[in-house]
């Protein structure tokens, strides 16, 4: 599954609100079905698959327990033209914590696995990393304007233009922390485009799970190419999420601006690692995310590659 910089939508699967994007039909106890739009041609967007899997897990837990962590693996590419069945396993219901495992299945094969933990709220001492003092979203240009001008049909068909808002903080902006050598970074403001119900915390958490998968993969490749919204030429890389983990620290609203501060400490062996932190407008650290992504350079078409003598390597 590729990140938002290459995202396209599948016909008939793109909703206009997060409630529609995360809607599931309950087929039986612990069994749900949903559909996902594409994140690349004929590949379901992994952020939506993960968010729907978390939605399925949350629908089998008590209302008083909030999700505090999730860990997922993208096993196979999903087909946006076919429904996805989510099978929930009730691993444990303890006095304070609840554990669920979810398998997302298409054509009898698992395409994604999720483990999620929920807990009762409790009091405790607090501390957190300080939020970077970057420009606010109101001071930054809307990248969709350039996208709509460059590709009107793609913009009109995209789920992104209807469901979320985003603002990229340009490199060199005041307040950006200095970049550590070997660790590229990017900062993006994100929020749902339409208000979400205040009394449905699971919907806000699942919406943030969707949002968290939009730009992490591109962060791992900033040393090789810029994201689509800041890039003039065609993509030179194939990016795909391999796994995804999140921790939810404090209450938040996904329909209010959240700063996604991202950095990538390593890229090697065709894989890149990205770390991300979500801050609200008040500077509270509300969630953290970690993702490993496949990073491969795209080969030029055969007609454009120079011929070489000798046998071809496999």
Token pair 């065609």 in the structure block, residue: 234
- Establish whether 8 is a catalytic residue: no
- Establish whether 115 is a catalytic residue: no
The whole-angstrom separation of Cα 100 and Cα 299 is 41
The whole-angstrom separation of Cα 107 and Cα 208 is 28
Q: Which of the following is catalytic: 8, 218, 264, 291?
A: 291
Which residues lie closer than 8 Å to 17 by C-beta, 6 or more apart? 162, 163, 192, 193, 194
Written as one string, the DSSP assignment of the chain is: ---GGG----TTT--SSHHHHT--EEEETTEEEE---EEETTEE-HHHHHHHHHHHHHTTS-TT-EEEEEEEEE-S---TTS-EEEEEEEEEE-SSEEEEEEEEEETTEEEEEEEEEEE---------PPPP-PPPGGGS--HHHHHHHH-HHHHHH-SHHHHEEEEEEPTT-TTPPPPPTT--EEEEEEEESS---TT-HHHHHHHHHHHHTSSHHHHTTTTT---GGG--S---EEEEEEEEEEEE-S---TTS-EEEEEEEEEEETTEEEEEEEEE-TT--EEEEEEEEEEEEEPPPPGGGSPP-SSPPP-
- Establish whether 48 is a catalytic residue: no
The whole-angstrom separation of Cα 155 and Cα 9 is 10
Alpha carbon separation from 138 to 176, 212, 249, 252, 257 (Å, rounded): 17, 21, 26, 20, 10
Q: Which of the following is catalytic: 241, 262, 264, 267?
A: 241
Q: Which of the following is catalytic: 3, 213, 255, 280?
A: 213
Active site residues: 213, 241, 291
């Amino acid at each position: 599954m590729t990140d938002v910089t290459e995202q396209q939508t599948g016909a008939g699967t793109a909703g206009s609100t997060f409630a529609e994007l995360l809607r599931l039909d309950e087929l039986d106890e612990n069994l749900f079905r949903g559909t996902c739009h594409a994140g690349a041609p004929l590949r379901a967007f992994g952020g939506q698959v993960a968010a729907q899997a978390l939605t399925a897990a949350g629908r089998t837990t008590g209302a008083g327990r909030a999700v505090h962590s999730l860990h997922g693996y993208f096993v196979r590419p999903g087909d946006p033209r076919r429904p996805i069945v989510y099978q929930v396993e009730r691993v444990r219901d303890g006095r304070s914590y609840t554990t669920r495992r979810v398998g997302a299945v298409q054509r009898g094969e698992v395409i994604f696995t999720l483990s999620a933990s929920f807990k009762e709220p409790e009091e405790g001492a607090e501390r957190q990393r300080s939020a970077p003092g970057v420009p606010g979203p109101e001071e930054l240009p809307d990248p969709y304007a350039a996208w709509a001008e460059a590709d009107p049909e793609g913009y009109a068909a995209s789920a992104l233009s209807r469901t979320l808002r985003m603002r990229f903080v340009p490199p060199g902006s005041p307040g950006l922390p200095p970049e550590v050598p070997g660790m590229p970074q990017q900062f993006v403001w994100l929020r749902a485009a339409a208000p979400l119900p205040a009394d449905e915390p699971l919907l806000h958490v699942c919406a943030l799970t969707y949002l968290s998968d939009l730009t992490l993969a591109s962060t791992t490749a900033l040393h090789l190419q810029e994201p689509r919204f800041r890039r003039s030429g065609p993509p030179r890389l194939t990016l795909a999420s391999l796994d995804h983990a999140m921790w939810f620290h404090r209450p938040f609203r996904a329909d209010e601006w959240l700063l996604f501060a991202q950095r990538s400490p390593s890229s090697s062996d065709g894989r890149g690692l990205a770390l991300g932190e979500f801050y609200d407008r008040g500077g509270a650290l509300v969630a953290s995310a970690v993702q490993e992504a496949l990073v491969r350079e795209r080969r030029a078409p055969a007609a454009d590659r120079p011929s070489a003598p000798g046998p071809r390597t496999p």
